[in-house]
């Protein structure tokens, strides 16, 4: 949030006219508490209402003001009742189209009436159209003025209209002009070096850009005034991440001597395969980290199927051998159970006891696990986020392993850190989501990165086909033939609704259709509403090839490993994002058999969906998919921050503004060293309430 010099206390937002307790509450939700905060509520785009455009000069997609005469208005009754108003100026004809309208409105569109309209130009049936334009009747009192500045459009929340924002900003900007100072936090040399304007100047311009500035420049955030804020915001984020990391590194962690490698070696000797070069390298990097008494904070990134689990197990053994406890955490119950199975299989011969803890663990069994943990009699626990709960106490937690990290926020990561008693546990985070470089530098700047960039030998890439749902029956028959020939398949049902119930119903329906259509094929059904024991039994049956075709919801998305399954059909694939499709598809192509994935869609396909599905068809490379994802969706969503609000930038965009990141890093270091107060002020200004994340 904006800071004011100590001499001048910031005035509360209620000092503005028109802001009562109710609006103040709404504004507080957006992090706006003081008058100056509102200056940092930045427009997302601009409209040009500064001049009237001739119909002849309009292009489809333009947003423009026009001045026209009504020719003719009529109501059309088709699928929807619409009011169409044909209008013209001296250069051409155009249609205004309304879906919601009152009788009074309709009556006002008399032939000859003069209108000023603002709207977006689209291609209509017979001519170009404005759909639901804003409009005003022009009376005889002469022409009304156009706007003097470009019109900013603000991100908003329920109950706050654009006009309200503009009014509030008018007041705040007036105050800014009358001498309220905004502290300049960027060093003068930096402003000079990049030719950036001073803060008050930049803020004023962004809220009230003069008509001679091209809207395109502003919309693309390329104006120096905007770039200045972009840079400042990226800088604030870098500072907070650096600080987070520094604080973390000041703590002492258990030192795990390199000599504690016997258990891990035994496990390696017992494995039916050799570690890949990439796995060996990452195992070594982890060993080296663990042998220091500063806490490891490492992200191991490896595409689906690259073999992250065994790497985790080897790290765990190292720590257990040194006498510390290890917690392994997975984002779903299904995955946590699968880890529990794998670890049990690997570690039982080594006489290491493991227990499982999830939200569903209850009663005596849970109590017993907690006691063993607290007393230090249980070296290894595997579970879901239930491991975060307050009553879970460790005796001497030495390592936390978090699988498929993108499901957990920085937040949760930090609360786990706090669980280590005297010593700060090491952390290993594993993810299949390849993180493009820019994101890694910003979002994960507090982590060291290891990459498992090699798949175990003998895998054949998955062939992917994109098909319309019209061919569902054909696909069903093909799957049937393959299952009868001894192959195993997944049939994945998706629904756009958040409701788990509906999703489960869709899966149930699909399962009964498939059972009926495919006699002789053993169909199983798994979804989120089954008890965990039921899920486990089903997965076991599928693993042992007692089920041929597993109908599933997206519960199988993450981590599930049944190498013999080599076919997958994803229904309504157009509804899923790239990251999710890649995860799902990663369930096949794990054995040596050639695998095939059918992405089935419900036509018509939107252009974006079409783009996504072709990316999936064209590549299996998680890294390319992640880059495309970033291009198509933008970074906020790639990180899943829409939900967590974790890195929500106000003006910066990691992709667009990538070039600033190295500069921001450099300056962040410099400020933290030489001007720590400025660094703090920057964090307060831009991260405000969120800054406490950095104070662990």
Binding site for ligand ADP (CB under 6 A): 273-276, 279, 302, 304-310, 432, 456, 559, 561, 563, 590
| Residue 409's binding partner out of ligand ADP, Mg ion, none, with CB under 5 to 8 Å set by partner kind | none
In whole angstroms, the minimum distance from the beta carbon of 280 to ligand ADP comes to 9
| Residue 279's binding partner out of Mg ion, ligand ADP, none, with CB under 5 to 8 Å set by partner kind | ligand ADP
In whole angstroms, the minimum distance from the beta carbon of 335 to ligand ADP comes to 9
| Residue 276's binding partner out of ligand ADP, Mg ion, none, with CB under 5 to 8 Å set by partner kind | ligand ADP
Q: Which is nearer to ligand ADP, 561 or 571 (CB)?
A: 561
| Residue 612's binding partner out of Mg ion, ligand ADP, none, with CB under 5 to 8 Å set by partner kind | none
User: Nearest-CB residue to ligand ADP?
Assistant: 307
In whole angstroms, the minimum distance from the beta carbon of 342 to ligand ADP comes to 8
In whole angstroms, the minimum distance from the beta carbon of 341 to ligand ADP comes to 11
d(CA 66, CA 56): 11
SS3 60: coil
Pairing of strands 488-492, 565-570: parallel
How far, rounded to the nearest angstrom, does the alpha carbon of residue 36 sit from its chain's CA centroid? 29
Q: Please report, for residues 217, 255, 411, 693, the alpha-carbon distance to residue 696 in angstroms, rounded to integers and kept in the order given.
A: 40, 21, 10, 7
| Residue 24's binding partner out of Mg ion, ligand ADP, none, with CB under 5 to 8 Å set by partner kind | none
Residues across the chain: 696
Burial of 107 (0-12, 13-18, 19+ CB in 10 A): exposed
Q: Which is nearer to ligand ADP, 275 or 414 (CB)?
A: 275
d(CA 423, CA 253): 5
- Give the position of tokens 């880059």: 627
Question: Which contacts qualify for 535-544: CB closer than 8 Å, 24 or more apart?
Answer: 535/333, 535/334, 535/337, 536/337, 539/334, 539/337, 539/338, 542/488
In whole angstroms, the minimum distance from the beta carbon of 309 to Mg ion comes to 5
Contact 83/73 with Cβ under 8 angstroms?
yes
Q: Which is nearer to Mg ion, 211 or 640 (CB)?
A: 640
In whole angstroms, the minimum distance from the beta carbon of 353 to ligand ADP comes to 22
Q: Please report, for residues 81, 83, 110, 692, the alpha-carbon distance to residue 105 in angstroms, rounded to integers and kept in the order given.
A: 15, 10, 10, 52
Structure tokens of 438? Answer: 């820019």
d(CA 639, CA 635): 6
Pairing of strands 549-552, 488-492: parallel
d(CA 404, CA 431): 4
d(CA 652, CA 687): 13
d(CA 180, CA 267): 67
In whole angstroms, the minimum distance from the beta carbon of 77 to ligand ADP comes to 56
| Residue 275's binding partner out of Mg ion, ligand ADP, none, with CB under 5 to 8 Å set by partner kind | ligand ADP
In whole angstroms, the minimum distance from the beta carbon of 591 to ligand ADP comes to 8
Q: Which is nearer to ligand ADP, 99 or 273 (CB)?
A: 273
In whole angstroms, the minimum distance from the beta carbon of 620 to ligand ADP comes to 13
Structure tokens of 627? Answer: 């880059």
Q: Which is nearer to Mg ion, 312 or 392 (CB)?
A: 312
Q: Which residues bind Mg ion (CB under 5 A)?
A: 559
In whole angstroms, the minimum distance from the beta carbon of 590 to ligand ADP comes to 5
In whole angstroms, the minimum distance from the beta carbon of 274 to ligand ADP comes to 6
d(CA 107, CA 367): 74
d(CA 109, CA 101): 11
d(CA 293, CA 185): 36
Scanning 98-187, the segments in alpha helix (DSSP H) are: 103-108, 162-177
In whole angstroms, the minimum distance from the beta carbon of 542 to ligand ADP comes to 14
Q: Which is nearer to Mg ion, 420 or 559 (CB)?
A: 559
| Residue 207's binding partner out of Mg ion, ligand ADP, none, with CB under 5 to 8 Å set by partner kind | none
In whole angstroms, the minimum distance from the beta carbon of 439 to Mg ion comes to 20
What percent of the chain is helix, strand and coil (3-state, nearest 5)? 45, 20, 40
Q: Which is nearer to ligand ADP, 293 or 621 (CB)?
A: 621
Q: How far apart are the first and last CA of the chain?
A: 20
Contact 65/116 with Cβ under 8 angstroms?
yes
Q: Which is nearer to Mg ion, 425 or 559 (CB)?
A: 559
Burial of 664 (0-12, 13-18, 19+ CB in 10 A): buried
Q: Which is nearer to ligand ADP, 36 or 554 (CB)?
A: 554
| Residue 307's binding partner out of Mg ion, ligand ADP, none, with CB under 5 to 8 Å set by partner kind | ligand ADP
Q: Which is nearer to Mg ion, 480 or 559 (CB)?
A: 559
| Residue 489's binding partner out of ligand ADP, Mg ion, none, with CB under 5 to 8 Å set by partner kind | none
| Residue 306's binding partner out of Mg ion, ligand ADP, none, with CB under 5 to 8 Å set by partner kind | ligand ADP
Scanning 322-420, the segments in alpha helix (DSSP H) are: 333-347, 363-375, 410-417
Q: Which is nearer to Mg ion, 154 or 542 (CB)?
A: 542
| Residue 590's binding partner out of Mg ion, ligand ADP, none, with CB under 5 to 8 Å set by partner kind | ligand ADP
Biggest CA-to-CA distance, the chain: 94
| Residue 436's binding partner out of ligand ADP, Mg ion, none, with CB under 5 to 8 Å set by partner kind | none
In whole angstroms, the minimum distance from the beta carbon of 540 to Mg ion comes to 18
Q: Which is nearer to ligand ADP, 119 or 302 (CB)?
A: 302
| Residue 211's binding partner out of ligand ADP, Mg ion, none, with CB under 5 to 8 Å set by partner kind | none
Burial of 613 (0-12, 13-18, 19+ CB in 10 A): buried
Q: Which is nearer to Mg ion, 434 or 559 (CB)?
A: 559
User: Nearest-CB residue to Mg ion?
Assistant: 559
| Residue 553's binding partner out of ligand ADP, Mg ion, none, with CB under 5 to 8 Å set by partner kind | none
Question: What is the side-by-side strand order in the sheet with 297-302?
Answer: 354-357, 380-383, 325-329, 397-403, 426-431, 297-302, 448-452
Q: Which is nearer to ligand ADP, 281 or 472 (CB)?
A: 281
């Amino acid at each position: 949030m904006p800071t004011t010099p100590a001499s001048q206390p910031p005035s509360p937002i209620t000092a503005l006219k028109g802001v009562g307790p109710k609006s103040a509450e709404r504004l507080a939700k957006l992090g706006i508490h003081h008058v100056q905060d509102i200056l940092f509520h930045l427009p997302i785009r601009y409209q040009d209402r500064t001049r009237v455009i001739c119909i002849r000069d309009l292009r489809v997609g333009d947003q423009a003001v026009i001045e026209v005469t009504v020719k003719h208005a009529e109501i059309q009754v088709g699928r929807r009742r619409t009011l169409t108003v044909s209008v013209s100026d001296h250069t051409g004809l155009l249609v205004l189209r309304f879906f919601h309208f009152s009788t009074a409105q309709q009556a006002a569109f008399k032939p000859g009436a003069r209108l000023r309209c603002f709207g977006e130009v689209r291609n209509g049936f017979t001519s170009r159209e404005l759909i639901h334009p804003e409009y005003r009747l022009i009376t005889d009192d002469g022409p009304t003025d156009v706007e003097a500045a470009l019109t900013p459009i603000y991100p908003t929340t329920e109950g706050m209209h654009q006009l309200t924002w503009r009014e509030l900003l008018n007041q705040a900007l007036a105050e800014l002009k009358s001498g309220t100072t905004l502290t300049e936090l960027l060093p003068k040399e930096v402003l000079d070096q990049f030719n950036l304007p001073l803060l008050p100047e930049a803020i004023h311009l962004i809220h009230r850009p003069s008509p001679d500035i091209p809207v395109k420049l502003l919309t693309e955030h390329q104006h120096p005034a905007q770039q200045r804020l972009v840079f400042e915001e990226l800088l604030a984020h870098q500072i907070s991440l650096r600080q987070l990391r520094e604080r973390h590194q000041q703590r002492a962690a258990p030192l795990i001597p390199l000599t504690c490698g016997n258990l891990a070696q035994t496990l390696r000797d017992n494995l039916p395969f050799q570690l890949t070069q990439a796995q060996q390298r990452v195992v070594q990097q982890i060993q080296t980290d663990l042998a220091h008494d500063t806490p490891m904070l490492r992200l191991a990134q490896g595409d689906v199927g690259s073999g992250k689990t065994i790497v985790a197990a080897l790290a765990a053994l190292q720590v257990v051998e040194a006498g510390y406890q290890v917690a392994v955490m997975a984002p779903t119950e299904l995955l946590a159970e699968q880890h529990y199975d794998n670890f049990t299989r690997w570690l039982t011969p080594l006489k290491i006891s493991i227990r499982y803890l999830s939200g569903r663990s209850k009663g005596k069994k849970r109590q017993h696990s907690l006691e063993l943990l607290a007393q230090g009699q249980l070296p290894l626990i595997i579970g879901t986020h239930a491991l975060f709960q307050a009553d879970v106490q460790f005796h001497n937690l030495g390592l936390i392993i978090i699988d498929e990290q993108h499901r957990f926020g920085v937040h949760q990561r930090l609360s786990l850190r706090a669980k280590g008693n005297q010593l700060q546990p090491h952390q290993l985070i594993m993810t299949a989501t390849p993180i493009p470089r820019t994101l890694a530098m910003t979002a994960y700047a507090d982590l060291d990165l290891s990459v498992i960039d090699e798949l175990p030998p003998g895998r054949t890439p998955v062939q992917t086909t994109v098909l319309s749902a019209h061919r569902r029956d054909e696909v069903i028959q093909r799957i049937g033939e393959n299952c009868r020939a001894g192959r195993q398949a997944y049939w994945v049902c998706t629904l756009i609704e958040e409701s788990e119930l509906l999703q489960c119903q869709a899966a149930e329906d699909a399962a009964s259709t498939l059972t009926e259509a495919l006699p002789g094929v053993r169909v199983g059904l798994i979804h989120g509403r089954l008890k965990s024991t039921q899920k486990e039994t089903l997965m076991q049956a599928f693993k042992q090839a007692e089920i041929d075709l597993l109908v599933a919801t997206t519960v199988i998305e993450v981590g599930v490993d049944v190498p013999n399954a080599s076919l997958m059909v994803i229904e309504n694939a157009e509804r899923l994002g790239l990251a999710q499709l890649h995860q799902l598809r990663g369930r096949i192509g794990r054995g040596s058999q050639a695998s095939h994935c059918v992405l089935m869609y419900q036509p018509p396909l939107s252009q974006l969906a079409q783009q996504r599905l072709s990316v999936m068809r064209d590549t299996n490379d998680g890294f390319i998919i992640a880059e495309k994802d970033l291009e198509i969706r933008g970074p906020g969503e790639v990180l899943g921050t829409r939900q967590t609000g974790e890195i929500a930038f106000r003006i910066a965009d990691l992709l667009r503004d990538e070039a600033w990141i190295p500069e921001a890093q450099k300056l962040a270091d410099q400020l933290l060293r030489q001007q720590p107060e400025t660094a703090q002020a920057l964090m307060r200004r831009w991260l405000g309430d969120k800054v406490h994340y950095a104070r662990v």
